[in-house]
Amino acid sequence: MSALRIGKRFYGTKLPACEPAQLRGKLIVLEGADGSGRSTQIEMLNAWLENLGYGTVNVGLKRSMLVSEELDQAQQGNILSHTTRSLFYATDFADQLENRIIPALRAGFVVLADRYIYTLMARDIVRGGDREWVKSVYSIAIVPDAVFYLRVSPQQLVERNFKKNVILNYWESGMDIGLSRDMFESFMKYQRLMQAEFRRMQEEYGFDVINGNRSTRAVANELRAKIQSILTVVT
């Protein structure tokens, strides 16, 4: 699909003062739950791309100058209602989109996104947010050149999370939605809901699903091969 596209485009809503056709760089997104190996893969891709001589920029969730601290604080106390939280995250995303992603693409960089609008949308929808509303909010996003979704079974995710932190994250367990008072149970249910939402989005947005249950090296090799072919497409 990326081979046919010339220039970039927005999903639906054009941002003021941005001509997407002038964005020469590549936007590559990795999606996946915590423990899917996402961050490790991004780190390796980053080094690989720089070694090849590509300028890279990393973006992710909750990294904006504008609201990242406030989001952290608010999350500690779990005091945000759902629409407020959605919009807070959307603000964080928009700030990075306009101040980091778009300028980097304009300058011809490869932007590696450690998650993008899909995680944000899935979280909202799983929490009962209106699908059309959420889609419209994020329709300001630039359509990426590729989206890789690292799919890892909930069982594997639990093991990897325990290995890393010895504790399950409150939000990644969806404890705020009351799926179960038992955290393990809640984690499994929440991750299954998220995966179901990603499956639904996969058809709509054309994700490339990567089997994340394999070794780090096997996943890295697959990603490199796929990204290599994207980089050679002239836009």
Partner 1 sequence: MVEEGDAARCMMNNSHNFPGKLIAVEGLDGSGKSTQIYLLKRWMEMQHLKVFFTEWNSSVLVREATRKGKKRQLLTATTFSLVHATDFADRYERQVLPLLRAGYIVLADRYIYTAFARDIVRGCDPRWVRNLYSFAVVPDITFLFDTPLNVALDRILSGRPKLKYFEAGLDLGLAHDPYDSFRLFQGRIYAEYKKMVDTEKFVVMDGMLPVEKQQAMVRKYVEPKIDLPAFRWRGK
Q: Which one of 19-27, 75-83, 168-176, 182-190 is the stretch in contact with partner 1 (CB under 8 A)?
A: 75-83
Question: What is the distance between the alpha carbons of residues 231 and 229, in angstroms, rounded to a whole number?
Answer: 6
- Which of residues 5, 9, 14, 164 is near partner 1 by CB under 8 A? 14
Size of the site for partner 1 (CB under 8 A): 36
Q: Quick check: 88 binds partner 1 (CB under 8 A)?
A: yes
Question: What is the distance between the alpha carbons of residues 146 and 5, in angstroms, rounded to a whole number?
Answer: 12
Q: Quick check: 4 binds partner 1 (CB under 8 A)?
A: no
Q: Which residue in 183, 224, 223, 229 sits closest to 36, CA to CA? A: 223
Q: Quick check: 150 binds partner 1 (CB under 8 A)?
A: no
- Which of residues 22, 40, 78, 84 is near partner 1 by CB under 8 A? 84
Which residues, other chains included, contact 12 with Cβ-Cβ below 8 Å and sequence gap of 6+?
Answer: 135, 136, 139, 140
End-to-end CA distance of the chain: 13
Q: Quick check: 136 binds partner 1 (CB under 8 A)?
A: yes
Residues across the chain: 235
Q: Which residue in 28, 58, 8 sits closest to 223, CA to CA? A: 28
Q: Quick check: 87 binds partner 1 (CB under 8 A)?
A: yes
Q: Is the dihedral of CA 171, 175, 179, 185 positive or negative?
A: positive
Q: Quick check: 78 binds partner 1 (CB under 8 A)?
A: no
- Name the 3-class secondary structure at 72: helix
Q: Quick check: 199 binds partner 1 (CB under 8 A)?
A: no
- Which of residues 82, 160, 189, 224 is near partner 1 by CB under 8 A? 82
CB 113 within 8 A of CB 149: no
- Which of residues 20, 95, 213, 230 is near partner 1 by CB under 8 A? 95
Q: Quick check: 135 binds partner 1 (CB under 8 A)?
A: yes
Residue nearer to partner 1 on the CB measure, 126 or 231: 126
Site residues for partner 1 per CB under 8 A: 11-17, 65-67, 70, 74, 79-84, 86-88, 90-91, 94-95, 97-99, 130, 132-133, 135-137, 139-140
